[in-house]
């Protein structure tokens, strides 16, 4: 894998001044810490750690999409062998407070009930109504059907577009509208630009609801310590500090009496963010029953995590020579039920990426977020960026067809120039840096386009198509009003033996970010990575921050660790400088030694540390003790004060990627097979190329799955029908060709290490490249391709139309 480092003028000096980039570990594919445990079955997941004496909680869920609860009869269930308690929404209201929402409550159109069990109204099939707690999970599960719920059914809203009509029934009785939120983004004179344009193309794309489906479903267990009045909540939580805050609010406890411990995770992709009712339920009921209470999510329940369903109607205007002039998009998202979780915010992010990597002077985007009686959205990789990217990429391809211009050349002609950064998007995002054309050239070197296009000309039962797509991936979300609003904190300690400890607020979803952070800290002290230990996920040990979201772990948590480590290093240098008679800024930390610039004077790192701890009143009298510092990293490219257009910018970092795919559409069955795939990824300075590439490949595979197979389907009554891995089909290794990956490095001038987020990138580009390739294979009828995923039956219908 080749990394091309191409530093824009001006940033090189800035970067090297703030951080030496020539460290021993930076840029090396150090094997992932604990990787062997993950692949050899040695990891203890949350469900493996549930204490033997724990009670198990199972959830009674609504069988109707929308109804008033008339009565709940728990009598029979309570008497079932093994059952310890059956708790309803009414009881929960007596022993806890509402779960706090991810955004301030005044942003909703009316009262939002966020208790962890439904009150008198159920809002989707699967809505938690009551909790059964029993000695075994089986007993609890068996007792669930003995809980008799009587409903008065209400009309359900199961379609967003019709839900927008004033006459539509309301998905939530307390609100007089189904419109939860929306955005109106404007730049330039869109009307005039469309009127004056030589060419206009129109299209639409709709996304089926989809989900994250990690290997490991959710699991929590809560242990109430009555003597200390302290609750410990352990489990699958990618945001332990926000969860501690949530639990503290729900249980009316100070944070000091709540400890949240996140366990090793088998994937999350956004699912395990804060705010699930069961997180609060086990905690509340552990105190209420004075017992340990555990919840292990079933695979069926895991599929209740809804996301992504939305439709875009877009128009693109261009001049005769192919210069893009204006883009217009109307987006309607079906965000399901609004709850304490923040997944629905993904639909607020979608329009903000427009018009992505292209220079389009006039833009208008209107978005409408509609609540319906489907399950709440949960975070999922892509976080809404994939849909805005795809709308733009489809429009560009449609314009290429319209103009008869090569889609690659049309893109090249309209890419933002490398010299045009920082660049403000219509949404207010301030793009940090990019070399889009360079990436495109690099992609074309790697992808055998001519070969596939030659095959495409052959008359066979398979129609071969080639598709290209860019993806702009805003990362490092730092929303105003959210808890916390986007900073991360790391503590670095150099212990008396000279080994190093890091405790950071960011957590690992299983991606290996702890390895990258260890590399960064090892470089600051010039020690081996084996000398650096890292703690994540335990709120009693780690400092406050958001956790693992929005590809922030290295960019924020890593940067904070470097800032803290440098502070500790300065303290050590105070002593060594006096000892060696060398200026502190001349000291180098290399290979376990601290050296003068000319290398003539040295002291072992460990010896210096030992002396500092043991000679605090003499040799090290001027050193601040202990060798321990916490630092927070706050991104410099986030702006919460509205600009002159009234827009804020909650994303500091803009990695991008460009993708090429060759697919074969079976003309007789409509089945799509991916033949070839290549992509170039640029996330600025890379700490661990192997881990970044692993994340990028994973994102591409997830994107191919979303493009071709993954779809949550709901019946007419709002019941999810695709709740098994047999009906919600994920890609397997045989479905994916070898992925050719290239990297580019355009450092961010706004980040102290030049980094951008990595982890989500690749997902949206893959959906778009596959979609454009399928459309290309379909020829003329490909213009009508408008539904993700590309089900064979729809493709067959398009093929029939073309005959």
Q: Per CB under 8 A, does 48 bind other proteins?
A: no
Residue whose CB is less far from other proteins, 279 or 711: 711
As measured in angstroms, the least distance from the Cβ of 800 to other proteins is 8
Residues 442 and 424: their CA atoms lie apart, in Å, by 25
Contacting residue, 137, 274, 318, 338, with other proteins by CB under 8 A: 137
Task: Give least dist CB 510 to other proteins, A.
Answer: 21
Determine the straight-line distance between the first and last CA of the chain, rounded to whole angstroms: 44
Q: Where are the beta strands (DSSP E) in 13-114?
A: 55-61, 67-73, 83-88
Q: Cβ closer to other proteins: 405 or 729?
A: 729
Binding mask 665-694 for other proteins (x = CB under 8 A): ---xxxx-----------------------
Site string for other proteins, 281-320 (x = CB under 8 A): -----------------x-x--------------------
Neighbours of 340 (CB within 10 A): 23
Q: Which residues contact 730 (CB under 8 A, 6 or more apart)?
A: 213, 705, 709, 710
| Nearest-approach distance from CB 783 to other proteins, in angstroms | 22
Q: For residue 211, report the phi and psi dihedrals to the nearest 5 degrees.
A: -145, 180
Q: Is 727 in the site for other proteins (CB under 8 A)?
A: yes
The verdict on 717 binding other proteins (CB under 8 A) reads no
The partner residues of 720 in beta bridges, in order of sequence, read 714
Closest CA to 388 of 425, 420, 443: 425
729 lies in the binding site for other proteins (CB under 8 A): yes
Question: By CB under 8 A, what part of segment 696-715 binds other proteins?
Answer: 708-709, 713
In this complex, which beta carbon is closest to other proteins, that of residue 138 or of residue 176? 138
Residue 215 as a binder of other proteins (CB under 8 A): the answer is no
142, 293, 302, 396: which one binds other proteins (CB under 8 A): 142
Question: Any contact of residue 803 with other proteins (CB under 8 A)?
Answer: no
In this complex, which beta carbon is closest to other proteins, that of residue 161 or of residue 300? 300
With contact defined as beta carbons under 8 Å apart, do 479 and 486 qualify?
yes
752 binds other proteins (CB under 8 A): no
Nearest-approach distance from CB 727 to other proteins, in angstroms: 5
Q: Binding segment for other proteins among 149-157, 569-577, 719-727, 743-751 (CB under 8 A)?
A: 719-727
Contacting range for other proteins; rule: CB under 8 A; set: 253-261, 268-276, 384-392, 722-730: 722-730
Residue 735 in contact with other proteins, rule: CB under 8 A: yes
Which residues on neighbouring strands pair with residue 463, listed in sequence order?
Answer: 665
Residue 299 C-beta: closest distance to other proteins, Å: 9
Cis peptide before 789 (omega within 30 of 0): yes
Cα–Cα–Cα angle for 553, 557, 563, rounded to 5 degrees:
150
Nearest alpha-carbon partner for 704 in 728, 682, 678, 735: 735
792-802 helix and 763-778 helix, angle to the nearest 10 degrees: 30
Pair 506, 513: CB distance under 8 Å: yes
Asked if 726 interacts with other proteins (CB under 8 A), we say: yes
Q: Where are the beta strands (DSSP E) in 421-547?
A: 423-424, 430-431, 462-472, 488-494, 500-504, 532-536
Please select the residue that binds other proteins; options are 420, 721, 780, 801, rule is CB under 8 A.
Answer: 721
Site residues (CB under 8 A) for other proteins, limited to 454-493: 460-461
The answer for residues whose C-beta is within 8 angstroms of residue 533's C-beta and 6 or more apart is 499, 500, 501, 502
Q: Find out whether 331 and 218 touch, Cβ atoms under 8 Å.
A: no
**Across-strand partners of 329?**
314, 365
8 A C-beta contact, residue 285 and residue 709 = no
What is the Cα–Cα distance from 389 to 764, expressed in whole angstroms? 7
Using CB under 8 A, pick the residue from 48, 725, 780, 801 that binds other proteins. 725
By CB under 8 A, residue 226 contacts other proteins: no
Which of 50, 587 has the CB closer to other proteins? 50
Interface segment toward other proteins; rule CB under 8 A; list 21-29, 470-478, 764-772, 785-793: 785-793
The residues of the shown chain that bind other proteins, judged by CB under 8 A, are 137-138, 141-142, 144, 298, 300, 460-461, 668-671, 708-709, 713, 721-722, 724-727, 729-735, 791-793, 796
């Amino acid at each position: 894998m080749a990394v091309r480092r191409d530093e824009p003028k001006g940033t090189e000096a800035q970067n090297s001044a703030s951080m030496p980039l020539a460290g021993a570990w930076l840029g090396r594919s150090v094997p992932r810490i604990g990787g062997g445990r993950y692949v050899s079955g040695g990891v203890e997941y949350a469900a493996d750690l549930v204490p033997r004496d724990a009670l198990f909680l199972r959830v009674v869920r609504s069988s109707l999409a929308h109804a008033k609860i008339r009565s709940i009869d728990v009598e029979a269930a309570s008497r079932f062998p093994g059952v310890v308690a059956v708790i309803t929404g009414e009881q929960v209201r007596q022993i806890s407070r509402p779960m706090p929402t991810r955004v301030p409550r005044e942003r909703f159109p009316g009262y939002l009930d966020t208790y962890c069990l439904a009150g008198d109204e159920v809002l989707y099939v699967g809505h938690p109504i009551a909790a059964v707690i029993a000695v075994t999970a089986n007993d609890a599960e068996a007792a669930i059907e003995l809980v008799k719920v009587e409903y008065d059914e209400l009309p359900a809203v199961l379609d967003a577009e019709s839900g927008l009509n004033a006459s539509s029934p309301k998905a939530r009785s307390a609100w007089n509208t189904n419109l939860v939120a929306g955005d109106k983004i404007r730049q330039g004179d869109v009307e005039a630009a469309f009127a004056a344009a030589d060419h206009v193309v129109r299209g639409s794309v709709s996304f089926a609801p989809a989900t994250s489906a990690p290997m490991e479903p959710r699991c929590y267990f809560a242990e109430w310590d009555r003597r200390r009045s302290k609750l410990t909540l352990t489990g699958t939580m990618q945001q332990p500090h926000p969860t501690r805050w949530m639990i503290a609010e729900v249980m009316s406890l100070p944070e000091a009496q709540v400890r949240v411990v996140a366990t090793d995770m088998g994937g999350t992709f956004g699912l395990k963010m804060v705010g699930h009712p069961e997180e609060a339920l086990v905690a509340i009921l552990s105190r209420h029953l004075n017992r340990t209470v555990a919840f292990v999510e079933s695979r069926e329940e895991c599929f209740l995590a809804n996301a992504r369903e939305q439709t875009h109607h877009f128009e693109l205007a261009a001049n005769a020579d192919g210069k893009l002039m204006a883009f217009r998009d109307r987006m309607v998202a079906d965000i399901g039920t609004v709850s304490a979780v923040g997944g629905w915010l993904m639909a607020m992010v979608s329009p903000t990426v427009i018009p992505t990597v292209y220079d389009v002077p006039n833009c208008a985007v209107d978005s409408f977020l509609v609540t319906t009686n489907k399950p709440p959205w949960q975070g999922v990789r892509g976080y809404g960026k994939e849909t805005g990217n795809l709308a733009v990429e489809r429009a560009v391809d449609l314009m290429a067809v319209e103009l008869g211009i090569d889609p690659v050349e049309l893109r090249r002609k309209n890419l933002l120039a490398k010299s045009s950064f920082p660049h403000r998007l219509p949404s207010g995002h301030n793009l940090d840096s990019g070399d889009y054309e360079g990436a495109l050239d690099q992609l074309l070197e790697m992808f055998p386009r001519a070969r596939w296009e030659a095959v495409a000309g052959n008359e066979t039962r398979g129609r071969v198509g080639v598709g290209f797509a860019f993806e702009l991936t805003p990362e490092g979300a730092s929303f105003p009003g959210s808890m916390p609003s986007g900073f991360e904190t790391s503590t670095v300690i150099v212990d008396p033996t000279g080994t190093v400890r890091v405790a950071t607020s960011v957590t690992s979803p299983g991606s290996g970010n702890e390895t990258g952070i260890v590399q960064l800290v090892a470089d600051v002290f010039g020690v081996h990575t084996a000398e650096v230990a890292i703690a994540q996920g335990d709120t009693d040990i780690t400092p406050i921050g958001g956790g693992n979201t929005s590809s922030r772990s290295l960019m924020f948590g890593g940067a904070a660790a470097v800032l803290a480590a440098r502070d500790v290093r300065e303290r050590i240098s105070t002593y060594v400088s006096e000892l060696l008679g060398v200026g502190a800024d001349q000291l180098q930390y290399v290979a376990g030694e601290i050296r003068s610039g000319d290398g003539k004077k040295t002291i072992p790192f460990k010896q210096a540390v030992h002396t500092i701890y043991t000679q605090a009143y003499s040799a090290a009298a001027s050193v601040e003790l202990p060798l321990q510092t916490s630092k927070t990293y706050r991104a410099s490219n986030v702006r919460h004060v509205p600009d002159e257009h009234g827009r804020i910018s909650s994303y500091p970092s803009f990695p991008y990627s460009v993708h090429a795919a060759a697919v074969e559409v079976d003309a007789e069955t409509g089945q799509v097979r991916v033949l070839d795939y290549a992509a170039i990824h640029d996330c600025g300075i890379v700490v661990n190329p192997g881990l970044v590439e692993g994340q990028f490949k994973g994102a591409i595979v997830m994107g191919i799955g979303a493009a071709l197979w993954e779809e949550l389907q709901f019946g007419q009554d709002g019941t999810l029908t695709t709740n098994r891995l047999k009906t919600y089909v994920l890609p397997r290794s045989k479905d994916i060709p070898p992925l050719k990956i290239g990297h580019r490095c355009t450092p961010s001038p706004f980040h102290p290490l030049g980094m951008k987020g990595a982890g989500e990138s690749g997902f949206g580009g893959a959906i778009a490249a596959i979609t454009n390739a399928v459309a290309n294979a379909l020829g003329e009828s490909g213009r009508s391709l408008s539904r993700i995923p590309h089900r064979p039956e729809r493709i067959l219908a398009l093929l029939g139309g073309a005959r």
